[in-house]
Amino acid sequence: MKGTQLLVPHCITDTTITALVWLKSPQQTPELPLNIIISDCYAAFNPSNRMWEKFLTEIEKQEKRGDFSEDDYMLLRYSKEARNILMDKTLGDEEVFSEGTPKEVLEKAKENILRIEKERSDNLEKQIQKFNEVLKRFSAFVGRISYYTIFVVLFITIVLCLGLTLMNNFIEINCIKLAISSVILFVITIITVTSGDSIKSFAKKISLRIEKRIYNSLKSLFSN
């Protein structure tokens, strides 16, 4: 425009230069504004260099004085947790920072670490409980199958042995087969009589032992 003077400032910020360059060809780096916003937000959540140097100087002084142990000093100096708590306590204002700030940061950091460890421990305990429940259900399922299998096998065995014994009165049966069936029937009878259980109860006891053995074996296997 005629009569208008073009003024060039002696000094210009990097933000202004970046904006001017980006406006000339925004299609080349369309994500730049978003990245700048993210960068600014990240910087806002972290202490400034001056604040951090002040913090480090103070904790070094107190560590040499014996106020902090070596572990406490390492926690304050290198943990991300300490940086976050420092910002929460001071909101980035150096005027709020005092000699007691590092101690407050340390106490809060330890409290947070203990809380996180407890949450992890609780979550791990819940996972272990869920896993044990799965093992119990699986073992119980195998136990039920074992129970029905044992009961059916015993029942069929008794029926066959009794059948062979009774049929011997009407038809001639091989002596070996008859002897085997008699022995099996005798053994089953002795077991049920001495244990004081019926065939059903006997099968239940065996299946419970199998269930317990499977559960303990699987638990031991996965624990290792």
Q: Which two tokens stand for residue 72?
A: 């406490």
Question: Are residues 219 and 128 both part of a single domain?
Answer: yes
Around Cβ 90, how many Cβ atoms within 10 Å? 20
Please report whether residue 45 resides in a domain: yes
Strand intervals (E) in 25-132: none
Cβ–Cβ under 8 Å, residues 218 and 138 = yes
Q: What is the pTM of this model?
A: 0.50
Q: Judge contact between 117 and 74, C-beta under 8 A.
A: no
Does any domain span residue 161? yes
On whether the CB atoms of residues 47 and 91 are closer than 8 A, the answer is: no
Three-class SS state of 96:
coil
Assess whether 142 and 204 both reside in one domain.
yes
Q: Do residues 88 and 160 both lie within one domain?
A: no
Q: Where does a domain end: 83, 99, 115?
A: 99
What are 107's two structure tokens?
């106490």
Range of the domain at 75: 30-99
CB 89 within 8 A of CB 48: no
Q: What is the dihedral of CA 206, 210, 213, 215, to 10 degrees?
A: -130
- Contact present, 75 and 109 (Cβ < 8 Å): yes
DSSP letter at 5 equals: -
pLDDT at 49: 80
Residue 61 belongs to some domain of the structure: yes
Position 11 in a domain? no
Furthest-apart CA atoms within the chain: distance in Å: 136
End-to-end CA distance of the chain: 83
Last residue of a domain, one of 53, 83, 99: 99
> Is 18 domain-assigned?
no
Phi/psi zone of residue 216: left (φ > 0), alpha (ψ -120 to 50 degrees), beta? Answer: alpha
User: Do 85 and 129 share a domain, yes or no?
Assistant: no
What parts of the chain have a pLDDT lower than 50? 1
Asked if the structure places residue 159 within a domain, the reply is: yes
**Which of 99, 115, 150 finishes a domain?**
99
Count: domains in the chain: 2
Residues in the chain: 224
Asked if residue 160 is part of any domain, the answer here is yes
Assess whether 132 and 193 both reside in one domain.
yes
Class of residue 76 by CB neighbours under 10 A (exposed 0-12, middle 13-18, buried 19+): buried
Question: What secondary structure letter does DSSP report for 82?
Answer: H
In a domain, 129, yes or no: yes
Q: What pLDDT is stored for residue 45 in this prediction?
A: 66
Residues 147 and 202 in one domain: yes
Q: How far apart are CA 199 and CA 150, in angstroms?
A: 9
Tell me the pLDDT tens digit for each residue of 182-216: 666 556 665 665 555 666 777 778 788 888 888 88
Given this model, what pLDDT does residue 174 score?
A: 53
